[in-house]
Structure 1
Amino acid sequence: MELTRRRALAGAAAIAAAPLVPSTAVKAAAPMADKQAPSYYRYKVGDIQVTVVSDGKNTSPLLDSFITNAKKEEVNAALEKAFLPRDVFTIYFAPLVINTGGKLVVIDTGNGPVANVNSKGAAGQFVANMIAAGFDPKAVDMVVISHFHGDHVNGLLASDGTPAFPNAEVLVPATEWKFWMDDGEMSRAPAGRMQGLFKNNRNIFEAGLKKQVTPYEWGKEVAPGLLAVESVGHTPGHTSYVLSSGSGKVFVQSDVTNNPNPFATNPGWHAFFDQDADVAEKTRRRVYDMVAAEKLQVQGFHYPFPGLGNVEKDGSGYRVIPAPWNPTI
């Protein structure tokens, strides 16, 4: 039926004259959530099961000194290009729990319980998320540490100062152990951050963990299927790993980069937390050239969760392509 102008006007007038429907309060189906679900993600490397367990994140103001060889405006431009906010920088943390079938192995431990309190729950989530993922910290056989920065070692101790993984052997890079436990190195450490790191590491390892510590060498398996790989610069003994089983292989990069935006896209940028920035840059380029050429998947401690992806060359830098989320294991 053709809608004439007269009929359309009559219909509009009828709607306007109709009484309003009494308003009623609309009730939501459920209350708003006030926190995320526990954050963990599982995948297989051959016969080994990897569980990425989030320790949360830290967001802080972007300081002029954050990247020592780039201007703040350049950094902001890189963040905007990656659809990230200006003037702040977010660092993510993701330790691993590896089930080899015979051993339960943790790689790095996150920021720890003090950081959880100080950050109001934003960081220091590792143990809580690990338990939510079905793991008992008392069942951990080995804790493998990549390097001695607080976001990797502070979770070794529980809130009462006792070992968080009481039955685990704690494996540490021999070069890293030698540096941080050297009284001469500690006496020469610059005031501020470096002195604080020495003090923190001594408190952790000498207070309650010394009997559990075993130093390891590069080029050797430190746990079943887990090969320790030298990747120095970030710290003197910084270590990455190749996890392999059957035909499966993943490069666990630790802190070869921090957040890939902007440190993979701009591999020549030097962050203040790299102890030897020139060496760290050479390591970054060497490692990323290798994983790109071999099409080797990379697990990044500071990548956005869950941190698994591939690396490809992109101009003078690199691009990290996140692995698709897999709803099955």
Structure 2
Amino acid sequence: MPSLFTRTRLFSALLAAQTLILGYTLPLSANAAPVAKQQNQVAGFYRMALGEFEVTALYDGYVDLDSKILTGASAEDIQSLLARMFVDSSKGVQTAVNAYLINTGSHLVLVDTGAAQCFGPTLGVVQNNLKASGYSPEQVDTVLLTHLHPDHACGLLNSAGQAAYPNASVYVPQAEADFWLSDEAAAKAPEPMRGMFQMAKQSVAPYDAQQRLKLYAPDSALIPGVSLVPSNGHTPGHSSYLFTSQNQSLLVWGDIVHSHAVQFAKPEVVIEFDIDSTQAKATRQQIFANASRDKLWVAGAHMPFPGLGHVRKEGAGYAWVPAEFGPLRSDR
């Protein structure tokens, strides 16, 4: 065995060679200064190709929901499904809020706009992420709203209360407008809901004043490559939008699902926010069946970001198959 002196010289030679070749030495002291942690998440956008269309998912933030607002199955079943997805519901169920920007080549379309300042500090960054993705609010020419709940419509306004998308026309289903923009409906609503009516009216007001608020019927033609899929129940005029390019289709379905851990396995589970829970349940079951059968791409406002994926039939219910991260490819 080499002597201690020989081993020490050998170690020193190896260390010198490492420094020469790699330009650094390994820390030899346990007291070395720690490397500062990076406290910021990556920008909240994700892109995928849909035929000739480009789809950009935009993260608005999250809200923690109480699992008790889910009904239609036993509390034990709901908790079991949440636990199966490693969700600790005692701290609230983290629920994302997403919007979707679709570049069709002739239109830059934003589906839903996020919550802006309406829901607190964990939400309201759609515009920041839109800019981070390489676009500007001024380039958006079409906004399609799935419905007029604040976490979908408040982002129509900037912090000054002006139109956040100054060159866009805003499309709202007629039945949705008839409810949320009606003074009569607001007066009849329970007191806790009345603020939502006010926020809906404020959100669309600048666009209405400039004749850029477009109310449409279920049989209306929107823009090329986009068709309407009525999906009411959650709200009276809740609507989904089907984008199609080169035989590929993406259904942007709004609030069909609020809890992916529970509602795919048990589509009969509804949420407190559903205005017509019976219709919302029937709509969800139909949308799931169609999306699974037709192998549609799906974009969900409250699915884990980026909220893009497929629906697969599984047993008596369904399962969510999220998109796999990868480069933009139009051949998938």
TM-score, shorter chain, exceeding 0.5: yes
Per the TM alignment, residue 181 of structure 1 is displaced from its structure 2 partner at its CA by 2.0
Per the TM alignment, residue 84 of structure 1 is displaced from its structure 2 partner at its CA by 1.4
Per the TM alignment, residue 86 of structure 1 is displaced from its structure 2 partner at its CA by 2.6
User: Which stretches in structure 2 are left out of the alignment for 5+ residues?
Assistant: 2-26
* CA shift digits 1:115-165 (9 cap, x unpaired): 4xx32xx31110001101111101111111110101100100000101110
1:26 aligns with 2:32: yes
The corresponding residue for 1:209 is 207
* Paired residue secondary structure (2:135): coil
Evaluate the alpha carbon distance shift between residue 24 and residue 308 of structure 1 in structure 2; reply closer, same or farther with a 3 A threshold: closer
The corresponding residue for 1:110 is 114
Cα distance in 1 between the residues matched to 2:167 and 2:102: 16
Cα distance in 2 between the residues matched to 1:135 and 1:324: 24
1:197 aligns with 2:196: yes
* Paired residue secondary structure (1:94): strand
User: Which stretches in structure 1 are left out of the alignment for 5+ residues?
Assistant: 2-20
Evaluate the alpha carbon distance shift between residue 60 and residue 181 of structure 1 in structure 2; reply closer, same or farther with a 3 A threshold: closer
* Paired residue secondary structure (1:55): strand
Cα distance in 1 between the residues matched to 2:85 and 2:293: 24
TM-score, normalization by structure 1: 0.86
Per the TM alignment, residue 24 of structure 1 is displaced from its structure 2 partner at its CA by 5.2
Cα distance in 2 between the residues matched to 1:183 and 1:86: 37
Cα distance in 1 between the residues matched to 2:198 and 2:106: 36
Per the TM alignment, residue 319 of structure 1 is displaced from its structure 2 partner at its CA by 0.5
Identical aligned residues as a percent: 33
The corresponding residue for 2:17 is none
Counterpart pick for 1:75 among 74, 78, 81: 78
Give the superposed CA RMSD.
Answer: 1.9
* Paired residue secondary structure (2:291): helix
* CA shift digits 1:202-239 (9 cap, x unpaired): 22223x23132011222444223111110000000000
Does the CA-based 8 Å contact 1:114-1:159 persist in structure 2? no
Evaluate the alpha carbon distance shift between residue 196 and residue 70 of structure 1 in structure 2; reply closer, same or farther with a 3 A threshold: farther
Amino acid at match of 1:209: Y
Counterpart pick for 1:93 among 87, 97, 116: 97
Per the TM alignment, residue 50 of structure 1 is displaced from its structure 2 partner at its CA by 0.6
* CA shift digits 1:58-87 (9 cap, x unpaired): 12444x3x1233444432221001221132
Counterpart pick for 2:59 among 54, 59, 62: 54
Does the CA-based 8 Å contact 1:259-1:304 persist in structure 2? no
